[in-house]
Amino acid sequence: VNWLGSNPRSLLGALLGAAFGCLVTGQLQRLGWELPLCVGVCAGLGCAASTTETNGMRGLVVGTLAAWAGAAAHVVYVARLPLWPGLARFHDDLSPLRLLLHTLSILLAILIGSASLRRESRARIVGS
């Protein structure tokens, strides 16, 4: 059984989407806007655009990717720390508002990453 509910193509789509979301977050940060939501939305859209299957477990994987990518974007563009030490201290930077925004980013990534943008999409059943 593949509990990931995903194939390499959809995960690559999510990865590219998350990377693009990080770049957008960096640009917005330069304008004074801190919006980690972009990472979750872009990761979800990248995944949903590259698959013809819908699957909730895959959404959880995309949500995890969005969480780490969002934290990485925060470390690089907001905290301006080296990546790994910054990630280890990411929790120290989580104000209630920031926590809310990152959580929303994850939830959107799960929601969008579970879906497919293709018209002919079908549900992927665990074990199929």
Q: How far is the CB of 73 from another protein (least distance, A)?
A: 13
- Judged by beta carbon, residue 27 or residue 89, the one nearer another protein is 89
The stretches of the chain forming alpha helices (DSSP H) are 8-30, 37-49, 56-73, 83-88, 96-113
- Judged by beta carbon, residue 106 or residue 115, the one nearer another protein is 106
What is the rounded distance in angstroms from the CA atom of residue 52 to the CA atom of residue 118? Answer: 6
What is the rounded distance in angstroms from the CA atom of residue 85 to the CA atom of residue 106? Answer: 22
Residue numbers at the binding site for another protein (CB under 8 A): 1-4, 57, 60-61, 63-64, 67-68, 71, 87-92, 94, 99, 102, 106, 125-128
Sequence-distant (6+) residues with CB within 8 A of 79 are: 86, 89, 90, 93
Q: How far is the CB of 39 from another protein (least distance, A)?
A: 13
- Judged by beta carbon, residue 93 or residue 118, the one nearer another protein is 93
